[in-house]
A and B are shown apart, each in its own frame.
Chain A
């Protein structure tokens, strides 16, 4: 069972913003500037969307942003588009002896 907890689902209408959370502890999310987020469409491989809490890889739209407060990280998708409907997983560094595991996952639905 993952140590990083995410809400099972979130939704929003096109053009709106949706924010999902990733709750950990001071040993992972709260202890390092090392949270990443992955998007997974049905039948597809995960894709890196955010790394180091709030950095976007080249090619990821700036509608996607990340933040952190204490032991909870957040992913915000602004200006929702139909193509943003997918599962999203967080991940956090938890020390060199621990794997870079994944959160429980959140399905974002575009209404």
Chain B
């Protein structure tokens, strides 16, 4: 069974750092890109960026470039999204999803990680 399992909810203060994770199982982790999607409270889905776990090549949305870092450790089938300095505006649910590079859809999604940033 294909699964993307994300790390648990986080409560942080502005200026703190954070790394959340997305672990894939039930498939060849290096055969699919992993994307990260932000959903702010009551809002829509925003594509943040993606990583190819086979070579760790990344691509970011201009809206998120420089504010987050996407990485992956293919030895443990896990992708990461990290911040070096959180802001209150980073409060959101973050989803990971997979996409086979030859396809143009996201077929499996993680359950989401709620990140709350407040002083």
Contacts and interface: CB of A to CB of B under 8 A. Distances in A.
Interface residues of B, number: 22
Given A45-B110, A45-B112, A89 B45 contact: yes
Main secondary structure of the interface of A (DSSP, over half): loop
A2 interface: yes
Nearest to A103: B44
A102 B47 contact: yes
Interface of A: 2, 32, 34, 36, 38, 40, 45-48, 51-52, 57, 87, 89, 91, 93, 99-105
Interface of B: 35, 37, 44-47, 49-50, 59, 61, 95, 97, 99, 103-107, 109-112
A89 B7 CA distance: 25
A105 B44 contact: yes
Contacts of A45: 95, 109-112
B37 to A, nearest CB: 8
A2 to B, nearest CB: 7
B104 A34 contact: yes
A48 B100 CA distance: 14
